[in-house]
Structure formats: structure tokens, C-alpha cells
Amino acid sequence: MISFIKKLWRDRRGNALVIAGAALPLIVGSAGLASDTIQWALWKRQLQRAADSAAMAGVYSIVEDQGDRTDVSTAVDHDLTYNNHVGITTTKVYVGQPTSGSYSSDAFAVQVKLQVQKRLSFSGMFLSAAPKVVATATATVVPSGHYCVVSLEDTSATGITASGSATVNMGCGMITNSTSLTAAVATGSSSVTATPIAAVGGIDASNNWGTGTVLQPFTIAQQDPYGNVDPPTPSGCKTLSSYDPGNNNKPGGTLDLTNSAAMPAGGTYCLKDNSGTLTIAGNVKLPSGTYVLDATSLKMTNTSAALTCHDCVFILTSSTAATNPSSIGTVSLQGGKLDLTNRSTGTYAGLMFYQDRRAPTCGSASCQNLINGNSSSSLQGAAYFPSQQLTFNGTSGMTTNCLQLVARDVSYSGNMNISNTCDATSGAHDFTGKRVRLVA
């Protein structure tokens, strides 16, 4: 026997088979561990995706409930059920506000920690217990940008439209609450440069979006920036001519009331035209103040006309708005010179135009508002038409450094350039948007 072993040892034939046999456990083990590693990484990836989605769902529920965290767990459970497409049964380790770290005091932050324990095919033969895979995600609300155009459209209709040859170049963003897949569109030969352009729904991919424009589809809805501002109840209304001692408020004439004893600067004045429309046909200059238009629209079509009012707001409402909302007036200013700045203090600070939100929503011309001054015009402040469409036909040369447009639907069909630079004392400002994002 000993001699046979010595002979076999000296024999070189078949040594490859011996080496292969000796290495086989190592090869099989390496392959098994590689397979287990891939499987583990896949489970980790699937689990992390589920945790990420659930954390964001929790934050969306807080946003939907305006800061109330009551429905967070329900939203997380629903999301884990709805998005479970891989067949992994997960265990919730923790759902709630982060207990430590940078977001522990963030009222909108939601942390979700998930765990899955499954036996691995190879290493499971050597382990007494299946390993645990853990994934943690934290989401919250973060700023999404600064907006000077807000569309409050919350249906499947398009909220922001640039058409024709409009050239819009803004140092601010635009956002719409429209749920449409084409919530914001730019058509024709229009060109829109803004950062960012955001929407609750989708944003139409187009070459009309200018270079550098950032698109943010499927974001959270923007709150009405003036939702807590209510219109006054009209009282003591007069015609504009009643404030004119010289009775020269006529087409082509000049009406300068900036130093009128009958209309002191900074006052509140209720205007009611018997025709239902206050038409600016000449050169009208008004002192600073709050102008309440009772069942009266504001109109200017004469290219030689002009309307000047600094530190002013025009409020379109009606004493019968509750029973007859269609009596609320609209704005149609086009052709002449507009020199308007917003109210700087008080309830209507920052506002240049304010339309009662009870105004009817419809697609007819009677429910549309138009602002289109000439190249010498200067506008500062917010134009607020929460229930109706606002069309802004900008003109080259128009001064719109600090202009905000807030309407149900916003449409551009002219040229505008907003630098979004507002004086700190003006009372006007842009609006900060928000979005839900994973932060850890």
C-alpha cells in the first residue's frame, strides 16, 4: 500500500483533476456568495424604493391636510400596499417624525424604516437565522423656487399658455396647479425663459422653452398667495366724475385728481358706473388709495389714453356678489399708457388689481381679463384674478421689473421681461414654492 501511494504521488497524470477537485468547494462557494450578494443587493434596492415612496406619501398627506400629521400612517400603509410590485413582505420598523438629526424638528418631515428578513439560497445553509435587510428614508417639504406667475387652475385644463410670437424672459419662475399632462405649454413661435416652470401635472416638452429653463412637473400645489385676503363690502359708491370739480372727465381730456380735496391720497373710494364699465378714455391721474369698483369693469381701448396711479389697488367686487356673481367686473386695459404701482401697506399690500374670488369661472370673453399697456407703460405689483383667465400682452419697452400674475389661467401673447427685482419697501414680492423631496 505504501509503495502504491508513493508511485501515485510520483505519477503526474491526472493532476489537473485533483487540483480541480480540491478547488471545487472554493469555486462553488464563491459562486454561491456572489449569487447571494446580488440577491441581497436587489432586496435592499427594492426595499429602499418602497421606503422612499412611502416617506414621500406620508409628506404628501401632511401637505394635503395642511400640516396635520393624523393620516401619515394611513398614507404610508396605502403606499406600501399599492406599490408592492415585487412580492416582498416588509415589516415597518418605524413611521413618523425623525427622532434625531437635522429634520427632527421639521413638522413636515416623515421617516420610514422598513425591514425584510429572508433566507438566502446559499449562505442560508450555513446560517442559523435569515439575515435582515433594513432601509430608511426621510422626506420633507423643501423650497422649489421663486415664482412671480401662479396659475390656480386645479383641473385637467392647461393653466399656463404662451402662444403666437410671445417672448417671455423672466428672472423668476411660473407654477400651475393644473393636473393636466400639458399643464404648461408654449406653442407657435413663442419663447419662454423662466426658472423654474413647475406644475402639479405634466409639462409639455417643447423647443419653445428657452435655454436654462428648469422644468419641474408633478410637484405639490401652490397655495393661493392671497387666499386670506377678502374684498370689502362696497358702500358709499359714486361715479368718478363726482370727484371731478372741473367736470373734464371726457374722451381726450385730462382728469388729474392727485391733489383733489374731494379725493385725499391714501383713502378708500367706491366707484360705480351706471353703464357697468369705467372707461379710461383720456389722461386720468388718481391719488394713492384703494379703489373699490362695485359691479363695474375697468376698461381702456384708446391708444392715446393713460391711467396713472401710484400706491394703488383696484378691487373688482359687487354688493350683490353673493347672489349675482356675474355682476363682478373685469379688467380690459389695452392700447394706452399704464403707470401703476401696488398698494404698499395695509390689507391689500402688494396688490395692484384684485378681483373678488366669487367671480364666475367660464370660457367666454366676459370672464377674461386683459392687460396690455404700450411701450411707455410701467407696472409694479400683483394682478390677482383667482377665478378667471388673465391674458398679458406685454410690449417691448414696458417696465415690468416687479410684476406678479396670479390667476386661474395665465396666458401670454406678447413680450415681457420681468427681472423680479422688487424694492423692499414696495410691499410687492414674489412667491416661494414648495415641493416634496427625499432628504435622507
* pLDDT tens digits along 293-351: 999 999 998 888 999 999 999 999 999 999 999 999 999 998 789 999 999 999 999 99
Which tens digit of pLDDT belongs to each residue from 96-153? 999 988 898 999 999 999 988 777 665 656 556 667 888 999 999 988 888 999 999 9
Distance CA 88, CA 97 (A): 25
Q: How far are the Cα atoms of 148, 334, 386 from residue 395, in angstroms, in the given order?
A: 18, 11, 24
- Taking the CB of residue 378, how many other CB atoms lie within 10 A of it? 17
Distance CA 64, CA 66 (A): 5
**Share above pLDDT 90 across residues of the chain, in percent, rounded to a whole number:** 45
Global confidence as pTM: 0.81
Residues 276-303: what's their mean pLDDT?
Answer: 93
Asked whether the beta carbons of 166 and 412 are under 8 A apart, the reply is: yes
pLDDT, residue 137, reads 93
Closest alpha carbon to 370 in 356, 390, 340: 390
> Which residues, at least 6 apart from 406, have a Cβ–Cβ distance to it below 8 Å?
149, 150, 152, 224, 225, 226, 382, 383, 384, 385, 386
C-alpha cell of residue 399: 417696465
pLDDT score of 394 more than 90 = no
pLDDT, residue 83, reads 76
Q: Is 132 exposed, middle or buried (0-12, 13-18, 19+ CB in 10 A)?
A: exposed
Of the two residues 179 and 424, the one the predictor is more confident about is 179
> Which residues, at least 6 apart from 178, have a Cβ–Cβ distance to it below 8 Å?
151, 153, 154, 155, 156, 157, 158, 159, 160, 184, 199, 200, 201
pLDDT score of 166 more than 90 = no
Asked whether the beta carbons of 390 and 413 are under 8 A apart, the reply is: no
pLDDT, residue 45, reads 87
pLDDT, residue 129, reads 64
Asked whether the beta carbons of 289 and 315 are under 8 A apart, the reply is: no
- Taking the CB of residue 5, how many other CB atoms lie within 10 A of it? 9
pLDDT, residue 314, reads 98
Distance CA 127, CA 133 (A): 15
pLDDT, residue 213, reads 85
Asked whether the beta carbons of 142 and 437 are under 8 A apart, the reply is: yes
pLDDT score of 196 more than 70 = yes
Distance CA 109, CA 315 (A): 39
pLDDT score of 32 more than 60 = no
Q: What DSSP designation does 30 have?
A: H
Which range among 148-152, 177-181, 262-266, 326-330 shows the weakest confidence by mean pLDDT?
Answer: 262-266
pLDDT, residue 41, reads 76
Peptide bond into 325 cis (omega under 30): no
Distance CA 303, CA 336 (A): 4
Of the two residues 11 and 399, the one the predictor is more confident about is 399
Residues 13-35: what's their mean pLDDT?
Answer: 57
Please provide the average confidence, as pLDDT, over all residues in the chain: 85
Distance, C-alpha 380 to centroid of its chain: 21
Task: Provide the β-strand partners of residue 355.
Answer: 316
pLDDT, residue 46, reads 85
pLDDT, residue 226, reads 95
Closest alpha carbon to 385 in 426, 430, 331: 331
How far the first Cα of the chain sits from its last, in Å, is: 69
Asked whether the beta carbons of 407 and 158 are under 8 A apart, the reply is: no
pLDDT band at residue 91, thresholds of 50, 70 and 90? confident
> Which residues, at least 6 apart from 49, have a Cβ–Cβ distance to it below 8 Å?
none
pLDDT band at residue 244, thresholds of 50, 70 and 90? confident
> Which residues, at least 6 apart from 204, have a Cβ–Cβ distance to it below 8 Å?
181, 182, 184, 185, 186
